[in-house]
Copies of this chain bind each other. A is one copy, B any other.
Amino acid sequence: MGTQVIRDVRPLGAAAVDVVLDRATVEAVLPAGSAPAHLPLLLDGRGQLLLPALVESHVHFDKTLWGMPWRPNTAGPTRNDRIANEQRLLPGIDVPIAERAGPLIEHCIARGSLHFRSHVDAQTAFGLRHVEAMLALRETYRDVIDLQFVAFPQAGMLINPGTRDLMRAALELGVDIVGGIDPAGIDRDPIGHLEAVFAMATRYGKGVDIHLHDPGELGRWQMERIADMTQAAGLAGRVMIGHAYCMGAFPTADLAPLADRLAALDISIMTCAPPHTTVPPVAWLRSRGVNVCSGSDGIRDAWSPMGNGDMLERAMLIALRYGWSKDEELAMAFDIVSAGGARALGVESYGLAAGCRADFVLLAAENLAAAVVDRPAGRTVVSRGRIVARDGVYTGH
């Protein structure tokens, strides 16, 4: 695997090019037909779209029931009901995490995602089992994908003694990011929760990623505190706030001071664009310089049977959620599941230009907007210069 070429592909729908790869890196992007004839052919794109690999910025691989027999959802209606339901259910699952999360990861790769951030539960009901299983699984796929982990206190941190110890142990084992969840709504002590999160981040030199479902004024107030602590800890560019439903409760004019702080501190906002609740005004946030990314959240798990890990379908769902129909809006939806995610996750050398990593999705679509609308299933995926999926099927690591 030295120098190779992908011939006749249209980057994001632009004019056809040949892409010359030097192992795992793009060496040159040339007009179609002009790459030297002697170069070994990695792929003949036949005019397909060339897209950068998709970025899954928020998923819970460790809790999926993917591949198992269907299990009717039995959770009660509240978030705490769902947390308790999962605590009862998951320890009794006899299929190892790797045998559920592994096939799901392969499915996601085959849909074009190569960069992932997965939350991994560090809660007393599970001990370090989820963390250890996912760290082992990361090794299995280390030559194919980038997989970041968040030590996630799903059941609360301060209200569950022992959770902080598990999170610290997870970080010492190699988990990348300190997680948090509804500092007010679940943990009942917003300042205590956030101080603990940021103290761990500082001590271990990690970023922060906080699930924030808390609504309205309560949520917004906590976002301001997250901004304060990001600034105080010098963690600009390394903090993500997930969901941020609260931002959908305000006219954008009322959000301007907060948005400007998020932009200045490069705090990314992650939305799955759920249709049944309020959502952050992402087009407006982006226009003010706030980075926005997206994710699948839980996929076929004890929370919900929904989801398939397809970030191109997620782009379509984002567009539907916000009522987008213009080409530039559909391109924005794509940007959120690609470059926005890469910025949030700190993926280096992301893109399609010379010098970028050779991480691509190829698919048959007329242009980028049509790809988002139609989500063609027959995708070819190239990871680090190697083909890892053909026609939507994972071909291996």
Q: Hey, which bits of chain A sit against chain B, CB under 8 A? A: 69-70, 72-73, 75, 273-277, 300, 303-308, 316-317, 319-323, 325-327, 330, 366-367, 369-370, 373-374, 377
B374 x A323 contact (CB < 8 A): no
User: Hey, which chain B residues are within 8 Å of A374, CB to CB?
Assistant: 308
Jot down 14 A-B pairs with beta carbons below 8 A, ordered by A: A70-B369, A72-B326, A73-B326, A75-B325, A274-B320, A275-B320, A300-B373, A305-B370, A305-B373, A306-B319, A306-B320, A306-B325, A308-B374, A377-B377
Given A70-B370, A366-B70, are A305 and B320 neighbors across the interface (CB < 8 Å)? no
User: Hey, which chain B residues are within 8 Å of A73, CB to CB?
Assistant: 325-327
Given A305-B369, A306-B320, A373-B306, are A327 and B72 neighbors across the interface (CB < 8 Å)? yes
List the number of copies, as a whole number. Answer: 2
B321 x A275 contact (CB < 8 A): yes
User: Hey, which chain B residues are within 8 Å of A367, CB to CB?
Assistant: 70
In this complex, what residue of B is CB-closest to A300?
B373
A163 to chain B, nearest CB (A): 26
Most chain B Cβ neighbours within 10 Å, of A300, A303, A320, A370: A320
Summarize A's interface: helix, strand, loop or mixed. loop
In this complex, what residue of B is CB-closest to A375?
B308
User: Hey, which chain B residues are within 8 Å of A377, CB to CB?
Assistant: 377
A56 to chain B, nearest CB (A): 18
B325 x A304 contact (CB < 8 A): yes
In this complex, what residue of B is CB-closest to A367?
B70
Whole-angstrom CA separation of A106 from B367 in the bound complex: 23
A324 to chain B, nearest CB (A): 9
User: Hey, which chain B residues are within 8 Å of A366, CB to CB?
Assistant: 69-70
Whole-angstrom CA separation of A322 from B277 in the bound complex: 9
User: Hey, which chain B residues are within 8 Å of A75, CB to CB?
Assistant: 325
Whole-angstrom CA separation of A273 from B275 in the bound complex: 9
User: Given B305, B308, B321, B325, which contacts A325 in the complex, CB threshold below 8 Å?
Assistant: B305
Whole-angstrom CA separation of A69 from B305 in the bound complex: 36
A148 to chain B, nearest CB (A): 27
A382 to chain B, nearest CB (A): 24
Whole-angstrom CA separation of A193 from B307 in the bound complex: 43
Whole-angstrom CA separation of A274 from B304 in the bound complex: 20
User: Hey, which chain B residues are within 8 Å of A300, CB to CB?
Assistant: 373
In this complex, what residue of B is CB-closest to A305?
B373
User: Hey, which chain B residues are within 8 Å of A316, CB to CB?
Assistant: 306
Most chain B Cβ neighbours within 10 Å, of A69, A321, A325: A325
Whole-angstrom CA separation of A203 from B306 in the bound complex: 48
Whole-angstrom CA separation of A385 from B370 in the bound complex: 35
Whole-angstrom CA separation of A258 from B319 in the bound complex: 33
Whole-angstrom CA separation of A273 from B321 in the bound complex: 11
User: Hey, which chain B residues are within 8 Å of A373, CB to CB?
Assistant: 300, 305-307
A76 to chain B, nearest CB (A): 11
User: Hey, which chain B residues are within 8 Å of A72, CB to CB?
Assistant: 326-327, 369
User: Hey, which chain B residues are within 8 Å of A305, CB to CB?
Assistant: 325, 330, 369-370, 373
In this complex, what residue of B is CB-closest to A275?
B275
Whole-angstrom CA separation of A19 from B1 in the bound complex: 55
User: Given B70, B276, B317, which contacts A322 in the complex, CB threshold below 8 Å?
Assistant: B276
In this complex, what residue of B is CB-closest to A319?
B306
